[in-house]
């Protein structure tokens, strides 16, 4: 069995399992996380708070986070989605109405996850506590993207890789 066959089978199984979660608490928490992260509002707000309250360390962390997030968005949404052109998970796999609210753009990679991962991973070296605090909503956003039917798990993993690369590039560009 080839790697792509295994990934496709795992994507289907995990997407259907996660989309079937019925807990109203889980659904509400994931919905709030996604709404906050939409359009990078959450990460931009976090950057403003860090810059305003964290002194030099906060400004450095905020700047690195925003730069990495911008780079990840450019690479993920501007390049990755055009190259992959992967369709979203089939609506039949998603047993709730949130599937009607998903984007029409290609599925791979997850731009939400790329932005969240890039921001958190760029903030972490400059201000570890802030980076770890940001990781909680970032993880919720990643889970929500699969639960809502907007992405396959491999889209989220791809977005995380794009985000990690963006954070790494920003960190090394600043140091170098």
Q: What is the pLDDT along the chain (176 residues), one digit of tens a residue?
A: 688 899 999 999 999 999 998 899 988 999 898 888 888 999 999 999 999 999 999 999 999 999 999 999 999 999 999 999 999 998 888 887 766 777 788 999 999 999 999 999 999 999 999 999 999 999 999 999 999 899 999 999 999 999 999 999 999 986 65
What residue ranges do the domains of the chain occupy?
25-175
pLDDT for res 83:
93
So what's the pLDDT on residue 101? 73
Which residues have CB under 8 Å from 122's CB, separation 6+?
A: 61, 64, 65, 67, 68, 69, 166, 167, 170, 171
CA distance 162 to 166: 6
Compute CA distances 130 → 28, 99, 142, 168, 176, whole Å.
24, 32, 19, 17, 24
Q: How much is the pLDDT for 176?
A: 52
Res 174: pLDDT: 63
């Amino acid at each position: 069995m080839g790697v792509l066959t295994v990934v496709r089978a795992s994507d289907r199984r995990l997407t259907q399992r996660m989309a079937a979660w019925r807990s109203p608490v889980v659904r509400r928490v994931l919905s709030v996380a996604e709404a906050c992260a939409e359009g990078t509002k959450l990460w931009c707000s976090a950057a403003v708070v860090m810059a305003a309250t964290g002194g030099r360390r906060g400004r450095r962390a905020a700047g690195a986070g925003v730069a990495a997030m911008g780079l990840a968005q450019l690479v993920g949404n501007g390049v990755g989605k055009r190259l992959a052109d992967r369709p979203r998970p089939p609506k039949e796999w998603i047993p709730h109405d949130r599937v009607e609210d998903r984007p029409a753009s290609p599925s791979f990679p997850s731009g939400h996850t790329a932005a969240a991962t890039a921001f958190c991973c760029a903030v972490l070296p400059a201000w570890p506590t802030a980076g770890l605090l940001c990781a909680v909503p970032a993880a919720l956003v990643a889970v929500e993207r699969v639960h809502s039917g907007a992405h396959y798990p491999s889209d989220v993993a791809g977005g995380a890789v794009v985000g990690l690369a963006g954070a790494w590039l920003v960190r090394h560009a600043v140091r170098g």
